[in-house]
Structure formats: C-alpha cells, structure tokens
Amino acid sequence: MDSATGSSSAASQSESYEIVVVGGGVAGCFAAATAADQGADVVQIERKSEAKAGHIACGDAMKSPTDPDLYPGPIDMTAIAATDDVLIDGNIDQIEWWDEDIGVKKVLPYDSGSNVVDRYEFGRELLRQTATLGVDQEFNTVVNGVVQGEQVEGVEAVRDGRPVTYHADLVIDAGGSLSTVMAAVDFDELAAAPETTFEEPQYRQFGSAYREVLVTPEDVPYDNALVGKPLEELGYVWYFPRTAREINVGLGFQMSEEPVELVDRLREDIRDRPEYQGAEHAEVDGTADKLGAALGLRRPLDSMVAPGYITVGCNAGATHPISGKGIRGAAVTGFSAGKHGARAVREDEDGFVSEADLWPHNYFVYVEHGLGTTIASKDPYNVAAANAGMENVRAAVALLPETEIADVVSSAEDSFGITNAVDLASGVLRNAVDLYRNDVFEQLDTSKRAVLATLGDFVQTRIYADRLERHYANYPETREEFFEWRDTRDALDAALDEQIGIPARDSKY
C-alpha cells in the first residue's frame, strides 16, 4: 500500500470503512446516504466546519426537487421542500436573456416552474438527513493525498490539525471541480488493462464563477425569472431571485478564455442598477454570503470509475455545459455511485474493486437514468460557441427563436427534424428583419457574413448533437465494449471540428 503524497501513513491515526465519501455537497450527501441505506459502512468527510458545511457556491436554481426520477434515493426531498427556510416555493416561471446593449430580450417559459433555493439551508438539510441514515460525518477534515496500490485504497487527510488516514474498499470523490483527490491519484499505476477507462478532465473544460446574495430594499421587477446577460468572455451574468428581495447575483466564464476579474466585474454590473441601490449582503453564520467556485462546462466524463474510485457531481462533468445547472446532476451521479458502489463492495470476493465491478455506475448515468446522455448532447453547443466567439454568439441568440434557445439550455431530450428546420429558418428570418431594421448588428464587433456562418454552424451542431445523443444512448453495458465505443465517439468529435472549422490543436477534447 503506497501513499500518493510520498509521506508515511504510519504516523497518522488510521480508520477503516467500506466506503469513504469525500465532500459534503449534494453529490456527497446523495452518495453517502444511498450507500449507507444499502448497508455499507460509510464515512463522509468535509473540509468545512460543521457550522459552515452545506454552504456551496452555486446559482441555486433547482427544478422539480420532489420528482424521484430527478432526485432518486433515500433522501426525503419532499421533507426538505417543505422546510420553509430552503425556499422551494415555485416562484420561478420563466428564463429571461437580456442583451441590453443591443436591445434584445428573450423570454423562455418554465411550464412546470422552478426555484432558487437557499443553498446553505438546503445543504444543511441534506447533511442532517445523511447523518440520520447512519453515515459517520467528520468536519474540518482536509484531504491531502490518497493511498493506492492496484486500486485506490483510501485517502490521507488532516482533521482538526492532526493527520489521519482513512482506509476503504472504495473512495467516492465528491470533492468538486478539479478535485484534489482526483489530482492525487496516479491512474496509470492502477490495475486496469489495457489502460484505465477513467477520463481525467483538464481545466480548460471548466468555468470559474462567483456569486453574492443581496437583500434589496424593494421588490425587484423580475422576481419570477432567472435572468441571464452576456459576459464578454464566453460567459454570463445572472440575477436569480430567491424571493422578491433576496437575489443571488453572480457571473461566470469559461477557463479557456481570457480571465475575468469576477468580483470587480460583478460590482461594475450592479453598480448603477436602481434595484440594487441600498442593497445589503445576506449572511451565513455571521459572514456575508459571498462565494466563488469552479464548475464543469463539458460533457460528463467518458468513464467516471477507476479501480477503487468513483468521481461524481461537478468533477464528473455532471453540470449543464451551457447553463451550468448542477444540482440535479450531482444528485443523480451521487445516488448512482452510492448504490452501485455499495453493491460492488458487498459482492467483492477477491479484495479488489475493479472498473468492471463499478461499471454499472457509468451505465446507469448514461442509459438507465439517461441524464448523462442528455447533458453530453448539449456540449456541442458549448464547443460551437467557443469557436464562434461571444459577439457572434450574441448575434445568433438575437436571431434564434425562443424555442431553439430553450432546447439548448434545457436538460430535456430533443431532436432536430424537417419541421424544426422550417421553424428555425422562419423564426430567424422574422427576427432578422426587425434587428436589421434597428441596426442592431452595427453595434456588435462582427460582420453579417460571420453571423450567417455562425447560424450555419448552429444547424450543423444541432444535427451533430442528435447523432451524439444517439451514440451516448448506446453507451456500453460492459467495460469490454468501451474502447470501441469511445473510438466511434472520437470520430464524431473530429467530424464536428472539421465541419465548423476547429483545428486539431484547439479541439476541446
């Protein structure tokens, strides 16, 4: 048994569990609660103090929280939704896109309603329920390495200032984007032939975000809407109302672009808005509610498993690659890891938890549940947008009908046929007449030819997204079939890059 940090584990306090879950967010709670409910001996470790645990940086939008298909497992989401402080009250019935510099506003209805939750209160309720299901929870515990041999065998940490080593049959990594646990694993040294299937993401596939919660002196005029506005570096500013006077304001950009000074840029955005004059920060545990984080803006990992290891949530790419919505993806991947991880540990007969043993997790996420496939099918739009540039994206959004935009930002399945193509063309034509009449495109740093090329690329991307969705819907049920499946998917990637003019050196994957 080796330490990936190179330090001796003999000096550490040592504890043993069947499953170690790293992280106290949505994915970590769903994983730990589900594994314990399946009979596993589970510890959940969280770097924050017990008083601050559950406070996670997020836009906090959450749709259909009591739907058991979207939030599966033993956590009682109905009870959480009934807790007044969580703010699940269905106050959101539309999405609005404001491009104020060119006078464009898009309104997308939310037929079934949505919510902007109090993320801290929601997180606290998740942690409480997880504990009641028999999970040991240890706070003030910072992971700084892993223990591995042929498989990942545990993690090294500092708990309340003292070193401790957690040995386990399985580590579930819910440590957030670009997790330090993942970074510590030497995947090439794990026992997997011909190689591990686990896909290590890289930072250019992620976004950086920052948000504050402001309390305004008067009701905002958009208390029923999730509002988004374009940001110069392939990102957006958001105003997400928890209530009519408590607003989650934030922004994020993709790390493949030039960096943005997030705090200063947010200040610049809200400084002259009348509704925020005199606003004060909401507080959590006596401090201003302000947080930053990284989030995945890519498709889910090709494989989220390695010997003795599963990653879930944001680090697994279970966030929407356009809008960044991640609570649902965290819940689904966390539940699956807990369920299938506990089963793999329980049925293990040789002391080795292999990728094949954990493979049902991948298959569930992509096929049996299907959320992974839906998210993967949205990623081509992120690829195309990065290639087009923000000015052309703004122009294309101005031209596209609301129904097309809704398909891109939603987490629902969709397909593109002849009827869609006709509707798209007629909608673009109607919008183009109005926008050209008002000289809107003269205000953007682009050309009509470039905008038309971007629209053409959108159609090609839409077709490709359908092909990709069909391919992911046929994700392999066994590990043996994976490598051929991946080769075919890589060929689809290359075809899209060639179609829309992305050179190999700039390919996202």
- Of 263, 278, 295, the residue at which a domain comes to its end is 295
Our CA dihedral for 299, 302, 307, 308, rounded to 10 degrees, sits at 20
Are 69 and 169 contained in the same domain? yes
* Alpha-carbon 315 to chain mean position: 8
Are 268 and 187 contained in the same domain? no
Residue 480 lies in a domain: yes
* Alpha-carbon 281 to chain mean position: 26
Residue 309 lies in a domain: yes
Task: Dump pLDDT digits (tens) for 201-233.
Answer: 988 888 899 999 999 999 999 999 999 999 987
How many secondary structure helices (H) and strands (E) does the chain include? 13, 20
Are 69 and 137 contained in the same domain? yes
Are 36 and 170 contained in the same domain? yes
Are 275 and 424 contained in the same domain? no
Taking the C-alpha atoms of residue 382 and residue 129, their distance in angstroms, rounded to an integer, is: 36
Burial class (CB in 10 A: 0-12, 13-18, 19+), 473: middle
Residue 4 lies in a domain: no
The CATH number linked to 301 is: 3.50.50.60
Q: How confident is the model at residue 452 (pLDDT cuts 50, 70, 90)?
A: confident
Asked if the model's pLDDT at residue 419 lies above 60, the reply is no
Largest CA distance in the chain: 75
Are 313 and 188 contained in the same domain? yes
* Backbone φ, ψ for residue 195 (5° rounding): -165, 165
The CATH number linked to 237 is: 3.30.9.10
Asked if the model's pLDDT at residue 423 lies above 80, the reply is no
Domain total of the chain: 3
92, β-bridge pairs: 114
pLDDT at 437 (0 to 100)? 61
Are 278 and 301 contained in the same domain? no
Q: How confident is the model at residue 422 (pLDDT cuts 50, 70, 90)?
A: very low
- Of 278, 295, 312, the residue at which a domain comes to its end is 295
Are 322 and 253 contained in the same domain? no
Task: Dump pLDDT digits (tens) for 379-410.
Answer: 999 999 999 999 988 888 888 888 777 777 66
Q: How confident is the model at residue 254 (pLDDT cuts 50, 70, 90)?
A: confident
Are 253 and 288 contained in the same domain? yes
Are 391 and 478 contained in the same domain? yes
pLDDT at 426 (0 to 100)? 53
Are 160 and 226 contained in the same domain? no
Q: Among 51-60, 148-157, 177-186, where is mean pLDDT lowest?
A: 51-60
Asked if the model's pLDDT at residue 101 lies above 70, the reply is yes
Residue 327 lies in a domain: yes
Q: How confident is the model at residue 430 (pLDDT cuts 50, 70, 90)?
A: low
* Alpha-carbon 235 to chain mean position: 15
Residue 85 lies in a domain: no
- Of 266, 295, 324, the residue at which a domain comes to its end is 295
Residue 362 lies in a domain: no
* pTM, two decimal places: 0.93
Closest among 206, 110, 92 to 410, alpha carbons compared: 110
Taking the C-alpha atoms of residue 135 and residue 113, their distance in angstroms, rounded to an integer, is: 33
Residue 361 lies in a domain: no
Average pLDDT value for the chain:
90
Residue 9 lies in a domain: no
Task: Dump pLDDT digits (tens) for 265-287.
Answer: 999 999 999 999 999 999 998 99
- Which has more confidence, 35 or 445? 35
Taking the C-alpha atoms of residue 418 and residue 436, their distance in angstroms, rounded to an integer, is: 27
* Backbone φ, ψ for residue 280 (5° rounding): -125, 160
Are 134 and 183 contained in the same domain? yes
For 32, the domain range is 15-77+120-199+297-349
